[in-house]
Amino acid sequence: MAEPGSSNGASAGSVLLTHAVGLHARPSVKLTKLAKTFGASIELGTGPEGPWIDAKSIVKVMAAKAPQGTTLHFRAVGPDAGEAVAALVDLVERDFDEAAAHAGNG
Amino acid sequence: MSTQANGNVGIVIVSHSPDVAKGTAEMVRQMVGEEVPLAFCGGNPDGGLGTSVEAILAAIDRAWSEAGVAILVDLGGAETNSEMAIEMQPEARAGRIVVCNAPIVEGAVIAATEASGGASLEAVRRTAEELSPA
């Protein structure tokens, strides 16, 4: 499902959101926290042409209210853009580690 | 309920109800994690609904961080007592404690999420307040 492509500090990828309740509170928190660990600027789009929002903004990510079945698009610019997109795609593919959520593993 | 010392902004939750304060703190811990200093208080000394300046002062001490502390409150007295507690702080903490104008539960989760990434106190407050209808 991931289509990471990388070239010289810019990267993009997309992934199908399978989480049953979509990008709600807890998944949004996890996505935002992960995005903040990268130096690259990262944007999240709910369609291939956007609209694009700052993936590090918890308020904007929650407000996007992406439902189950949405294909999430990430694009990043910066030295660690490739790692950032790969990590975010991986988080969504892992379904946000929801099964392990109560083990404090997130 | 205090935490390891670190450089992240601390969060204090002040509700009239001890159950609301505790439940809000649980949501922060489960949804955001352990990276932010967190303390809560609620109820008056007789066990009823209310807030007390002494309890707020103690909560600020437990959640204290050199990066500052953001307080989330529910209704009237929670805010005025929090402001009183801020005024009673030592000079060294001046300007590093703020009350966020945001809903207590959502604001606490949002503020803690922002704080967990190492954001400044002003950024934490601004993010929590983005939630509020203008």
Considering CB atoms only, which of B34, B113, B131 is closest to A32? B113
Contact check, Cβ <8 Å, B109/A25: yes
Q: How confident is the model at residue B46 (pLDDT cuts 50, 70, 90)?
A: confident
Give domain limits for chain A.
1-44+73-98
**Shortest distance, CA B111 to any CA of chain A (angstroms):** 9
Nearest to A33 among B30, B113, B127 (CB): B113
Could you list the active site residues of B? Answer: 16
Of A4-8, A29-33, A59-63, minimum mean pLDDT range: A4-8
ipTM exceeds 0.90: no
**Contact at CB, B127 and A59, closer than 8 angstroms:** yes
Q: DSSP string of A8-58? A: TTEEEEEEE---TT-S-HHHHHHHHHHHHTSSSEEEEESSTT--EEETT-H
Architecture category of domain A1-44+73-98 in CATH? 2-Layer Sandwich (3.30)
In A, minimum Cα distance to B118 occurs at: A36
Whether the pTM exceeds 0.90: the reply is: no
Instruction: Please tell me the CATH superfamily of domain B10-130, with its number.
Output: Phosphotransferase system, mannose-type IIA component (3.40.50.510)
Which residues of A fall within a CB distance of 8 Å from B131?
59
Domain extent listing, chain B: 10-130
Return the C-alpha torsion angle A61, A65, A66, A72, nearest 10.
-10
Using CB atoms and an 8 Å cut-off, which of residues 18-77 of chain A contact chain B? 25-26, 29, 32-33, 36-37, 56-59
- In this prediction, residue B131 carries a pLDDT of 80
